[in-house]
Amino acid sequence: MNKENLDLKVNIGGVVLKNPVTVASGTFGSGREFAEFIDLNRLGAVTVKGVSSIPWKGNPAPRIAETYGGMLNSVGLQNPGVEELIKNDIPFLRQYDTKIIVNIAGKTIEEYCDVAEKLSHADIDLIELNISCPNVKEGGVAFGIDARMAKEVTREVKRHSKHPVIVKLSPNVTDITQIAKAVAEGGADGLSLINTLLGMAIDIHRRKPILANVVGGFSGPAIKPVALRMVYQVAKAVSLPIIGMGGITTGEDAIEFILAGATAVAVGTANFRNPRATMDVLDGIKEYMLNNGIKSLDEIRGIV
Amino acid sequence: MKEIKHVIVLENQMIAPKMYSMALQSEEIVRVAKPGQFVNLYCRGEARLLPRPISICEINKEEGSINLIYAVAGKGTEEFSRIEEGETIEVLGPLGNGFMIDKSKKRNIVVGGGVGTPPLLELVKHLKGEIDVYLGFRSYPILVEEFERLGARVHIATEDGSVDFKGNVLELLKKENAVGDIIYACGPKPMLKAVAQWAASKNIPMQVSLEERMACGIGVCVGCVCKTKKQDEDDWQYKKVCKDGPVFWSNEVIWDE
Ligand SMILES: Cc1cc2nc3c(=O)[nH]c(=O)nc-3n(C[C@H](O)[C@H](O)[C@H](O)COP(=O)(O)OP(=O)(O)OC[C@H]3O[C@@H](n4cnc5c(N)ncnc54)[C@H](O)[C@@H]3O)c2cc1C
Ligand SMILES: Cc1cc2nc3c(=O)[nH]c(=O)nc-3n(C[C@H](O)[C@H](O)[C@H](O)COP(=O)(O)O)c2cc1C
Ligand code: FES
């Protein structure tokens, strides 16, 4: 067996990725900057930064705080709006032989549906619905922490989207399997998890939070055990394909997620420390397969 | 393809309390670097994940090396201070846009505050005409002789009065009735804001090099933003310090955050 005849293909909602490695939304921009570091053709898919129906300004700085083995961010989904993405970023990415996943954000169900509708005519492959956004109509409660709202937004976006819809789950809940089941009932074609954990850091000299927004999303290697546990639980609870993420830095990390039941994996914060992290993960997966006589990841997926 | 490089540390010595000068061997960086750009330095291991952005202080064409001057501000820079000469460090760069040098300006004012001073040294090498360098420090001035060797007039303010003028750099600018056609500045934000207001009152165009906490340094995370005015519009937007800056025209920056 050699690297060439390994079967790395995975199917997410009817879309076939040539390998299971993609990137976590918001950690890769639209891929342009990373094209200077890696060959984007080698990625199974590129997941672009979150977009909303109109431009969002985002939160004040400081937006970044480093924590042990991880980081906090309070970017607040700053983005130029879906139309800019369709005009500038999609044509750029289409030059590459990789699938395109567009992560969408909204503050009301109508806004989510509006983005999905605008994307229906765009040349993309999958929509990733970020339900961690606060719902302004429901007093700012995130869609992703309420099973009823999560199901409803999934159902509505599905109705307005021509593309298959993956729903990205928030880990900031008591029982993530309940949200996963609700979203599956809403008609999701796949799941991705986890989004960032809510965290905080304080500057003891200034005696103030480091982030201007006080709290922010915790990501990076430090969150991997939590992410892995949640992927494991969700994989046992629903039969949808899962894109696993949360602290993945190496091929070994990715294999752990696949053993726990993930169909594909996304590399996030690791891209900041090492712009070649996705390539290291892909090469690491192949090496593990070769060393262990595995021809297809189906042989090991979810066996734990 | 670009990549993070392991480069050799040629020199790493203390030049003032908690202040180090580090020389890195890198022909590649030297070939393309411009004054006002920065590099990302990385810590060992994964406990401290994020890059430490440090400005390029000098570009040494002959030696194929760059010089950085950094303060020990926390755990990462403390780790850097313990690196022995001959060891390697991971570096990415040069990053960002440097100063937009206008050689037609006859009288240059250069303003530095504390660890904002280093990038101004390479800048001064590229300026034409008269150069007045105004520097503010808490108590230990750095790089004074280096600026003087380049033919610049150096004016120093220290907060505790231990060297020359006692006070801040804005007070010094006012006291000396500084005149010029352009200002280039780098330092803490409150200082930049104060000098920018003074520059505006005197109608002197000014460039500022800003700092912000960064996660990538290459324009993807949208973490390192500063609030700026939109051109020809009564609106504002967050721009990325790492990619759109770190140098901005001071009248573009909205200083309220
Ligand atoms: C464009 C740019 C150029 C810079 N040039 C220089 C220079 O030439 N010399 C110098 O001494 N310092 C410079 N700084 C500041 C320097 O990056 C920080 O002092 C350094 O990152 C602190 O790291 P630490 O691990 O020691 O501190 P810690 O407090 O342990 O760092 C924790 C995290 O906060 C970040 N951080 C802390 N302080 C700052 C800060 N002031 N600015 C940005 N990030 C910060 C760190 O990068 C790290 O991610 C520059 C900053 C920027 C943005
Ligand atoms: C700077 C930053 C920006 C992010 N932006 C988004 C986003 O726009 N949409 C989204 O669904 N998740 C976003 N995330 C979450 C990541 O996609 C990912 O779910 C999370 O960081 C966990 O993976 P990691 O530990 O590998 O980074 C962002 C994360 C970071 C660090
Ligand atoms: S540090 Fe990531 S965009 Fe500037």
Instruction: Count CB-CB contacts under 10 A for residue B4.
Output: 18
Is residue A155 packed enough to be buried (19+ CB in 10 Å), middle (13-18) or exposed (0-12)?
middle
| CATH of residue A21 | 3.20.20.70
pLDDT of residue A5: 80
Are B168 and B191 a contacting pair, CB within 8 Å?
A: yes
Instruction: Count CB-CB contacts under 10 A for residue A8.
Output: 17
CA distance B80 to B43: 8
Assess whether pLDDT exceeds 90 at residue B84.
yes
- The question of whether A133 is a catalytic residue gets the answer yes
Q: Does residue A21 belong to any structural domain of this protein?
A: yes
CA distance A42 to A112: 30
Nearest neighbour of B4 by CB, restricted to A38, A63, A275? A275
CA distance A43 to A22: 6
Question: In this predicted model, what pLDDT tens digit does every residue of A212-236 receive, in sequence order?
Answer: 999 999 999 999 999 999 999 999 9
Backbone angles phi, psi at A238, to 5 degrees: -130, 160
Assess whether pLDDT exceeds 90 at residue B178.
no
Any atom of ligand 2 within 6 Å of the Cβ of A135: no
Instruction: Write out the residue range of the structural domain in which residue A150 sits.
Output: 3-299
Q: Roughly what angle, to the nearest 10 degrees, separates helices A109-119 and A147-160? A: 30
Does A25 touch chain B if contact means CB atoms closer than 8 Å? no
pLDDT of residue B141: 92
Does A221 touch chain B if contact means CB atoms closer than 8 Å? yes
Chain A: give the shortest CA distance to residue B123, in Å: 27
Are A67 and A217 a contacting pair, CB within 8 Å?
A: no
Assess whether pLDDT exceeds 80 at residue B257.
no
Q: Of the ligands numbered here, which is closest to the C-alpha atom of A244? A: 2
* Average of per-residue pLDDT values in chain B: 95
Q: Which is more confidently placed, B167 or A241?
A: A241
pLDDT of residue A72: 97
Nearest neighbour of A64 by CB, restricted to B46, B213, B238? B213
Contacts of A210 in chain B (CB under 8 A): 213
CA distance A221 to B243: 26
Determine whether the interchain pair B4/A274 forms a contact, defined as Cβ–Cβ distance below 8 Å. Answer: yes
Residue type, A283: D
Give counts: helices (H), strands (E), chain A.
9, 18
Q: Which domains are delineated in chain B? A: 5-95 (2.40.30.10), 107-249 (3.40.50.80)
Mean pLDDT of A239-248: 98
Whether the model pTM is above 0.90 = yes
Any atom of ligand 1 within 6 Å of the Cβ of B210: no
In chain B, pLDDT over 70 holds for what percent of residues?
100
Of all residues in chain A, the one with the smallest CA distance to B236 is A57
Q: Does residue A224 belong to any structural domain of this protein?
A: yes
Centre of ligand 3 to C-alpha B30, Å, is: 23
Report the DSSP beta bridge partners of residue A17: A10
Any atom of ligand 2 within 6 Å of the Cβ of A75: yes
Question: In this predicted model, what pLDDT tens digit does every residue of B180-210 receive, in sequence order?
Answer: 999 999 999 999 999 999 999 999 999 999 9
Residue B23 in tokens: 């020389």
Question: In this predicted model, what pLDDT tens digit does every residue of A74-88 receive, in sequence order?
Answer: 999 999 999 999 999
pLDDT of residue B162: 87
Centre of ligand 3 to C-alpha B213, Å, is: 8
Q: Does residue A79 belong to any structural domain of this protein?
A: yes
Picking from B91, B225, B256 by the largest number of A CB atoms within 10 A of its own CB, the best residue to mutate is B225
Chain B: give the shortest CA distance to residue A66, in Å: 7
pLDDT of residue A1: 65
Mean pLDDT of B73-79: 96
Q: Does residue A304 belong to any structural domain of this protein?
A: no
- Residue closest via CA to ligand 2's atom 23 equals A246
pLDDT of residue A134: 76
**Catalytic annotation, pick one of A15, A126, A133, A297:** A133
Any atom of ligand 3 within 6 Å of the Cβ of B73: no
Does A33 touch chain B if contact means CB atoms closer than 8 Å? yes
Nearest neighbour of B47 by CB, restricted to A29, A68, A275? A68
Question: In this predicted model, what pLDDT tens digit does every residue of A131-177 receive, in sequence order?
Answer: 987 777 776 678 999 999 999 999 999 999 999 999 999 999 999 99
pLDDT of residue A113: 97
Q: Of the ligands numbered here, which is closest to the C-alpha atom of B218? A: 3
Centre of ligand 1 to C-alpha A95, Å, is: 37
Of all residues in chain B, the one with the smallest CA distance to A72 is B215
Chain B: give the shortest CA distance to residue A85, in Å: 14
Any atom of ligand 1 within 6 Å of the Cβ of B77: yes
* Average of per-residue pLDDT values in chain A: 96
Are A157 and A164 a contacting pair, CB within 8 Å?
A: no
Nearest neighbour of A64 by CB, restricted to B220, B223, B226? B223
Coil, strand or helix: which one is A16? strand
Atom of ligand 3 nearest to the CA of B215: 1
Determine whether the interchain pair A71/B2 forms a contact, defined as Cβ–Cβ distance below 8 Å. Answer: no
CA distance B90 to B20: 17
pLDDT of residue A4: 72
Mean pLDDT of B63-67: 96
Question: In this predicted model, what pLDDT tens digit does every residue of A91-116 receive, in sequence order?
Answer: 999 999 999 999 999 999 999 999 99
Mean pLDDT of B232-252: 94
Determine whether the interchain pair B49/A269 forms a contact, defined as Cβ–Cβ distance below 8 Å. Answer: yes
Q: What is the ipTM of this complex?
A: 0.93
Range 113-152 of A in CB contact (< 8 A) with B: none
Any atom of ligand 2 within 6 Å of the Cβ of A264: no
pLDDT of residue A65: 97
DSSP label of A229: H
Mean pLDDT of B9-26: 96
Domain count of the fold of chain A: 1
Assess whether pLDDT exceeds 80 at residue B243.
yes
Q: Listing from the earlier edge strand, what are the strands of the sheet with B58-60? A: B52-55, B38-42, B88-95, B5-16, B19-25, B65-71, B58-60
Of all residues in chain A, the one with the smallest CA distance to B44 is A273
Confidence of residue B234 (pLDDT cuts 50, 70, 90): confident
Range 225-254 of A in CB contact (< 8 A) with B: 249
In chain A, pLDDT over 70 holds for what percent of residues?
99
Q: Specify the DSSP element, H or E, that contains A290.
A: helix A277-291
Determine whether the interchain pair A63/B226 forms a contact, defined as Cβ–Cβ distance below 8 Å. Answer: no
Q: Of the ligands numbered here, which is closest to the C-alpha atom of B50? A: 1
Centre of ligand 2 to C-alpha A150, Å, is: 19
* Whole-number CA gyration radius for chain A: 18
pLDDT of residue A101: 98
Residue B214 in tokens: 């960064």
The residues on B that touch A, with CB distances below 8 Å, are 1-4, 42, 46-51, 92, 212-216, 218-227, 236-238, 257
- Residue closest via CA to ligand 2's atom 2 equals A26
